[in-house]
Chains A and B, each alone.
Chain A
């Protein structure tokens, strides 16, 4: 158990819909990362937050957005869903945004299926 929690575990929805994925980082970790894992693209970095502020963006679509709240939990919002958005979405956390926080702790993931 990494200490990172994600809800829900599974999500099935239809094209065009909007969903919210939730992540609680390990106690004390200020950085939260979102990754998307699909069969053809592997693990892709989407976005990072550090202590409530956006820190870095990866291959995140404009239809997707995220935020980190004062209690450090984070939400990833996916809208106008397409079939290709079906994937495993992981949240990870680390202890610092500086050089020492190289180990990331991954949550169990949310499996999103878009029908």
Chain B
């Protein structure tokens, strides 16, 4: 089977840096994605890593280590609007090109 583990909750203050970890167990791994979801809204794409290393997109960065089956999402210069749920998701050859999601991490940013 496939499984993904990520913390259920993280709290931080505005301006801080937070890292959300994700470990996965799957076969036929293609890559790791991150999605953001605000309360009641649709998930929106943040990043995708297929190869080892760090990908940077503005205030957000994502990292992947295929040998450790591990990745993380790094959010810098946190803003109140970053309060949301963050999901890691794997693409594998077991599910077409669909995403298998972790249970999500709720990030609360306070002032």
- Chain A: CB-nearest residue to B41: A108
Please give the distance in Å from B5's CB to the nearest CB on chain A: 12
Which residues of A (36-53) have their CB < 8 Å from a CB of B? 42-45, 48, 50
Contacts A42-B103, A99-B30, A102-B31 given; indicate if A2 touches B42 (C-beta within 8 A).
yes
Interface size class of B (residues with CB under 8 A): 20 to 34
Interface size class of A (residues with CB under 8 A): 20 to 34
* Interface presence of B102 (CB below 8 A): yes
Give the B-binding residues of A (Cβ under 8 A).
2, 31, 33, 35, 42-45, 48, 50, 55-56, 58, 90, 92, 94, 97-99, 101-109
Cβ of B42 and Cβ of A102 under 8 Å apart?
Answer: no
Please give the distance in Å from A24's CB to the nearest CB on chain B: 14
Please give the distance in Å from B22's CB to the nearest CB on chain A: 13
* Interface presence of B71 (CB below 8 A): no
Cβ of B98 and Cβ of A48 under 8 Å apart?
Answer: yes
